[in-house]
Amino acid sequence: MKARFSYLSGAVVAVAAVALTVPLTVRSGAAAQSTSTPAPAKGVAKGDARLIAGKQVFDKWCATCHSSAPSSPGTIALAAKYEGEMPGVLEDRTDLTPEVVSMFVRSGISIMAPFRKTEITDAQLGDLSAYLSAPIGKRNAMRPKAKPSGARK
């Protein structure tokens, strides 16, 4: 009886350990520089793990305002700012450098509040900046449906 009880509690501890480890693994994967490599999505080269992590940061923190949806405030503001000379959709831009992205993310502009390091760590910002300044073909390969900017969802 006693032996059976300790076997069961051992199983409970094991389940709890797995439950705790999974989110931690996912988070450190996103923040990792190059030591641990998250499993690459199908059709994406292993070396692109950093860009995949950056895309996840973008989808979590930026897409609400910078998506291709016609109501996206960031997309609307940037389309107006550049009067169509540059895509309003941030992910369609080919002129962004990691330095420019980092500067806007940490400083904010207009209705875009600065992002704290508790929200986006420096490592995540590195991934995000790498993603937004990566060759457009690589970025499009990571987007569910690559459409020309201005296209409706």
For ligand HEC, the binding residues (CB under 6 A) are 61-62, 64-66, 73-74, 77-78, 81, 90, 101, 104-105, 109-112, 115, 128
Nearer to ligand HEC, 28 or 64 (CB): 64
Nearer to ligand HEC, 15 or 82 (CB): 82
109-115-121-123 Cα dihedral, nearest 10 degrees: -20
Nearer to ligand HEC, 85 or 148 (CB): 85
Task: Supply the minimum distance, in Å, between the C-beta of residue 95 and ligand HEC.
Answer: 8
48 within 8 A of 139, measured Cβ to Cβ: no
Query: Coil, helix or strand for 25?
Result: helix
Task: Supply the minimum distance, in Å, between the C-beta of residue 38 and ligand HEC.
Answer: 19
Taking the CA atoms of 54, 59, 62 and 63 in sequence, report the sign of the dihedral they define. positive
Q: And the tokens for 77?
A: 């503001």
Nearer to ligand HEC, 49 or 125 (CB): 125
Nearest to 32 by CA among 13, 17, 54, 15: 54
Task: Supply the minimum distance, in Å, between the C-beta of residue 78 and ligand HEC.
Answer: 5
Task: Supply the minimum distance, in Å, between the C-beta of residue 143 and ligand HEC.
Answer: 15
Q: And the tokens for 63?
A: 């897409």
Task: Supply the minimum distance, in Å, between the C-beta of residue 148 and ligand HEC.
Answer: 19
Nearer to ligand HEC, 69 or 112 (CB): 112
Residue 108: C-alpha distances to residues 7, 55, 74, 112, 114 (Å): 54, 19, 12, 5, 4
